[in-house]
Amino acid sequence: MRVELDRERCQGHGRCYVLASAVFESDDDGYGVLVSETVTAEFHDAARKGAGNCPEDAITIIED
């Protein structure tokens, strides 16, 4: 699985990195950034949870 985070859509709600800190983290201003574009199987559910809870739909999941 891969994830993309659209920096232009992100408004810094922070749900992604609160709910799925293995996949998303905060930059210095509270906006979301990816820990890694590639997500290993053990973190797939976390990635989906983070993406599904972003109010701006800024996160896209790309299933392999």
Residues of this chain that bind ligand F3S (CB under 6 A)? 5, 10-16, 31-32, 54, 56, 58-59
Query: Closest separation between CB of residue 63 and ligand F3S, Å?
Result: 19
Nearer to ligand F3S, 38 or 57 (CB): 57
How far, CA to CA in Å, does 28 sit from each of 9, 31, 42, 48?
Answer: 17, 7, 27, 24
- Residue closer to ligand F3S, measured from CB, 10 or 47: 10
The CA distance from 49 to 16, in Å, is 8
- Cβ at position 64, least distance to ligand F3S in Å: 22
